[in-house]
Homo-oligomer: A and B are copies of this chain.
């Protein structure tokens, strides 16, 4: 099979909800899970999501709203409904065409009377016009002649089954967020306007369906609107129906269009009809060709790995509203309601690099989302009686905390430093100084300010402790001086200091404006400096081992092999509270830190950390495998790195953690997978503003080829275990450290290095 296609037949899990997760398709603005359009479903099982469309189920807590099912369809033969729950489905195939980002469903059906039908549904959520969905249905009689009825519509009787973000808690229950406000039916175009109950957003969905020479009738009942076609279907004959759907929310339009959303949707629908399916599809494919031209990674020697990796890249593309700075990416993107659609540090630390290096605008918009919620972050700090800006562990429509537990929501504060880190990373990767001037500096200063008031000064020991904090290793208790958090917080503060210094010297106006807006005093800068010098970094000098936190060495050692039998999370077997006293690591903590701040650790320290932490890591977060792959590739643990990489890219494809079916796609892991090949095996990373290339490509992969934007220039890399080739495709000349040697890359002077 092509490495550009995923066929349901090749998957090892064939549970319906797993296939629905795997075959979710989206265009960043919206997504639809890969459910059977013809099969009766519960109201919370027909899931389609729109980026940023949330509603409160109980203020201040939101859920990502499940929107109407615009795929719902029914077949009738000789006026009898073909009930997918009763008939024989002789064959069902789902094929995700990754290049075109289309989902093709094909069924061979056999009715009780022996009639056989072939049913095809091919659909795409246009990347060219993100408000448009096109579906083409083909129905073929295989052995009979009779009366065909085809009905297709929109089902607004959908609901959410709210899933508590705390794994130990039960689901919150079923909840309906959308109420119909208005329905417009005209010329076989039906447009439905719905409103969210508490956030007050409007959503319109308009659709029509066309079939040569057959006129439909309109049908309307109980939040369901449809068109029904009836015609003779002869043995061997195929009938085709083309459905166009147009979707808008009040969040997408300017103020004066909000009241005319129905008109907006009908205009768009008319436009789709006049363009027609073929042209719409062509525009869609062309746009995706452009995207893949930059984002694709080819692995000449391992098409299976290439394909799984490609599936991960596709997730990063499909789940990001790249042109919108008012949304971010949920931990499961738009593929599932798990974590209530909330945005986590997953974005900045695990996904952002993909966008940073392939779609700078998308990366910028993700960070602008954080700038746009800076005031909420300030408010969070205020409510927590600290200074500056404190980003929420989980958030959605604004920067208000969506996590309601102390041990997680109040204690996993590293996210604030992670965002600051991403701001700096953005600058170093893109060279976009204006971003720092207009947005980044303010974020860096307000977050540095937060950290300085979050540390507690210990007079007796003249040091600053970070009390009651949880690091990335969520099994580590609410602890003290978590090294990851302390070091990242220090980096945050140092970057604030450095940029203040830089602008004081180079563009004093920027500082003056900020002093005016948020006031920065000399005393404050003294404290900034003091904190960075006097935090507690736990390090065992003899062993050259960085210690995770003050209590990690007091934990009870345990042999992981005795308790962890597969890749299912250990907390399913041992309760969270107990795990917190075992010397185990849920996910990379110190090792992740070493990837983020490579300059702060020498090779020996990285090796020591790997030897100590890797054997006791449970990888109970989907973010852990790829992090291990990445650092493993960088420190020469190649075999282990490949194993971890394979697990990470297969995470959803092979349902490695046995939760893709009930949680959706792990987009953070997709981002981390991308990093593990680019930053790990290809060894490309930016450090102190300098681009480094230190590859360690497994021999069996042959040539790995990909493009990256670096500091505004587009570069193409072709790397194998034997050669490094770097070409400048567009943009200005650029300096690169290849294997520690500074090289200058220009259009006419590609880099070619042979390896031993």
| CB contact under 8 A between A575 and B406, given known A456-B554, A467-B581, A468-B580 | no
Complex CA–CA separation, A40 to B384 (angstroms):
41
Q: Which of A2-10, A88-96, A457-465 contacts B (4 or more CB under 8 A)?
A: A457-465
Return the CB mask of A446-462 against B: 1 if under 8 Å, else 0: 00000000001111100
Tell me whether B385 and A458 are in contact (CB under 8 A): no
Q: Check: A574 CB closer than 8 A to any chain B CB.
A: yes
Q: Check: A555 CB closer than 8 A to any chain B CB.
A: yes
Tell me whether A406 and B405 are in contact (CB under 8 A): yes
Tell me whether B404 and A407 are in contact (CB under 8 A): no
Chain B, residue nearest A583 (CB): B456
Given contacts A405-B405, A468-B478, 16 further A-B contacts (CB under 8 A): A169-B404, A383-B575, A385-B574, A385-B575, A385-B578, A406-B406, A456-B554, A456-B581, A459-B557, A460-B553, A465-B554, A467-B555, A467-B580, A467-B581, A468-B580, A480-B554
Chain B, residue nearest A576 (CB): B406
Return the CB mask of A13-43 against B: 1 if under 8 Å, else 0: 0000000000000000000000000000000
A128 contacts across to B, CB distance below 8 A: none
Return the CB mask of A467-493 against B: 1 if under 8 Å, else 0: 110000000011010000000000000
A554 contacts across to B, CB distance below 8 A: 456, 458, 465, 467, 480
Q: What are 13 pairs between A and B in contact, CB < 8 Å? A: A383-B575, A384-B577, A385-B577, A405-B406, A406-B407, A456-B554, A456-B581, A467-B580, A467-B581, A468-B477, A468-B577, A478-B478, A480-B554
Complex CA–CA separation, A581 to B386 (angstroms):
11
Q: Check: A551 CB closer than 8 A to any chain B CB.
A: yes
Tell me whether A410 and B477 are in contact (CB under 8 A): no
- Which residues 112-130 of A have a CB within 8 angstroms of B? none
Return the CB mask of A305-335 against B: 1 if under 8 Å, else 0: 0000000000000000000000000000000
Complex CA–CA separation, A478 to B577 (angstroms):
12
A575 contacts across to B, CB distance below 8 A: 383-385
A405 contacts across to B, CB distance below 8 A: 405-406
A553 contacts across to B, CB distance below 8 A: 458, 460
A478 contacts across to B, CB distance below 8 A: 407, 468, 477-478
Complex CA–CA separation, A384 to B383 (angstroms):
33
Interface SS majority for chain A: loop
A385 contacts across to B, CB distance below 8 A: 574-575, 577-578
Complex CA–CA separation, A459 to B457 (angstroms):
31
Complex CA–CA separation, A257 to B556 (angstroms):
54
Chain B, residue nearest A556 (CB): B456
> Could you tell me the distance in whole angstroms from the C-beta of A737 to the nearest C-beta in chain B?
42
A580 contacts across to B, CB distance below 8 A: 467-468
| Interface residues, chain A, with chain B CB atoms under 8 Å away | 58, 169-170, 383-386, 404-407, 410, 456-460, 465, 467-468, 477-478, 480, 551, 553-557, 574-578, 580-581
Complex CA–CA separation, A554 to B410 (angstroms):
19
Complex CA–CA separation, A270 to B459 (angstroms):
75
A577 contacts across to B, CB distance below 8 A: 384-385, 406, 410, 468
> Could you tell me the distance in whole angstroms from the C-beta of A381 to the nearest C-beta in chain B?
10
> Could you tell me the distance in whole angstroms from the C-beta of A240 to the nearest C-beta in chain B?
51
> Could you tell me the distance in whole angstroms from the C-beta of A116 to the nearest C-beta in chain B?
49
A169 contacts across to B, CB distance below 8 A: 404
A456 contacts across to B, CB distance below 8 A: 554-556, 581
Tell me whether A384 and B477 are in contact (CB under 8 A): no
Tell me whether A551 and B477 are in contact (CB under 8 A): no
> Could you tell me the distance in whole angstroms from the C-beta of A619 to the nearest C-beta in chain B?
20
> Could you tell me the distance in whole angstroms from the C-beta of A17 to the nearest C-beta in chain B?
25
Chain B, residue nearest A411 (CB): B577
A459 contacts across to B, CB distance below 8 A: 557
Task: Identify the 7 closest CB pairs spanning chains A and B, nearest first.
Answer: A385-B578, A410-B577, A468-B477, A406-B407, A465-B554, A456-B556, A478-B478
A468 contacts across to B, CB distance below 8 A: 477-478, 577, 580-581
Complex CA–CA separation, A28 to B68 (angstroms):
55
Complex CA–CA separation, A477 to B556 (angstroms):
21
> Could you tell me the distance in whole angstroms from the C-beta of A616 to the nearest C-beta in chain B?
15
Tell me whether A467 and B477 are in contact (CB under 8 A): yes
A480 contacts across to B, CB distance below 8 A: 551, 554
Q: Which one of A554, A556, A578 has the greatest number of beta carbons of chain B within 10 Å? A: A554
Complex CA–CA separation, A581 to B478 (angstroms):
13
A58 contacts across to B, CB distance below 8 A: 170
| CB contact under 8 A between A386 and B578, given known A407-B407, A407-B478, A554-B465 | yes
A465 contacts across to B, CB distance below 8 A: 551, 554
Chain B, residue nearest A60 (CB): B170
Complex CA–CA separation, A577 to B478 (angstroms):
12
Complex CA–CA separation, A468 to B406 (angstroms):
14
Chain B, residue nearest A481 (CB): B554
Complex CA–CA separation, A385 to B456 (angstroms):
34
> Could you tell me the distance in whole angstroms from the C-beta of A561 to the nearest C-beta in chain B?
18
A407 contacts across to B, CB distance below 8 A: 406-407, 478
A386 contacts across to B, CB distance below 8 A: 578
A581 contacts across to B, CB distance below 8 A: 456, 467-468
> Could you tell me the distance in whole angstroms from the C-beta of A237 to the nearest C-beta in chain B?
56
A477 contacts across to B, CB distance below 8 A: 467-468, 478
A404 contacts across to B, CB distance below 8 A: 169
A410 contacts across to B, CB distance below 8 A: 577
Contact of A578 among B384, B457, B576 (CB under 8 A): B384
Complex CA–CA separation, A575 to B404 (angstroms):
14
Complex CA–CA separation, A406 to B58 (angstroms):
22
A460 contacts across to B, CB distance below 8 A: 553
Complex CA–CA separation, A235 to B465 (angstroms):
79
